[in-house]
Amino acid sequence: MNALVRGDWKEGKENVARFPELEKSDFERICEFAYRGDYEDPEPTALRDSDFDEEEDQKLLSDSIADRDWDIIADRTGLIAAFIRYEIGSHRMSFRDTDTYPTIGPGLLDREANGWPSGSSNSWMEDITSVLLGHARLHVFADKYMIQKLKDLSLHKLHKYLTNVKVYPLTRVPIIELLQYAYQNLRNHDGDFDEEVEPLRMLVLEFIALHRRAFREFPDHVDMLKQDSEYAVDFADKMLGLLNILEE
């Protein structure tokens, strides 16, 4: 910030820096991070009664990754193991046995150490858009201004939250919004896409792969596949990888 307003740029000449891509709450978290090295997680918002159909929208489409019965799922443990074992900078999920590389099995993740409630992170009556995009906007901001610690922290917080999310009918909408945001905002600074899938994109892509039955015929996801060719290619690659796991 100091370099922006004191340097030989437009911001320095005007003595003001504008960040139109951020919400006020995002900037407050950035300031909090600057002083604490951490920030308070965004909170979901309650849906109004007029926004949902209670009979249909409370149906669970896909259990959280943290609560899966890993002994009986169709794709066994490969994708889940890869997802929960992400190490993002110096951050990682908390496991019950922290001294050894974790072995997949029920109860592996330490809910209390991960700061999770006794149930899932979300209710079917909640809109989690503010949580998902709150972390994602900080990740994009940190990528743009090369703040590696904030980039790692925001992705870790999003990873931890997604691991504990149950997918209900209305949960799919903010997930697709997060997916669209990741594919619209994360590019190389010269305008070219990265050769490898950017970590935020990969995180959402793998989340959808693990909850693929919930998104298979969801119109918003189908539209995303039709409209964003890069995502369609990444999704196809991920599905081919899953088929290879199932054939082994």
Total number of residues shown for the chain = 248
Q: For the residues 62-71, what does the mean pLDDT come to? A: 78
Determine the pLDDT at residue 166. Answer: 94
Is it the case that residue 193 has pLDDT exceeding 50?
A: no
Buried b / exposed e across 32-64, counting CB within 10 Å, b at 16+? ebeeeeebebbebeeeeeeebeeeeeeeebbbb
Model pTM score: 0.88
E strand segments, 91-240: 91-92, 126-127
- Give the domain ranges of the chain: 1-40, 50-247
Residue range 136-164, pLDDT digits in tens: 999 999 998 899 999 999 999 999 999 99
Q: Comparing 1-15, 46-60, 81-95, which segment has the lowest mean pLDDT?
A: 1-15
Write out the two tokens for 106: 């029920």
Determine the pLDDT at residue 190. Answer: 44
Percent of the chain with pLDDT over 90: 54
Q: Is 25 helix (H, G, I), strand (E, B) or coil?
A: helix
Q: For the residues 11-18, what does the mean pLDDT come to? A: 82
Mean pLDDT of the chain: 85
Q: Give helix then strand counts, H and E, for the chain.
A: 12, 4
Which range among 48-62, 69-83, 147-161 has the greatest average pLDDT?
Answer: 147-161
Task: Give the number of other CB atoms < 10 A from CB of residue 111.
Answer: 16
Q: For the residues 73-84, what does the mean pLDDT come to? A: 69
Which range among 46-55, 165-174, 231-240 has the greatest average pLDDT?
Answer: 165-174
Q: Are 79 and 245 in contact (CB under 8 A)?
A: yes
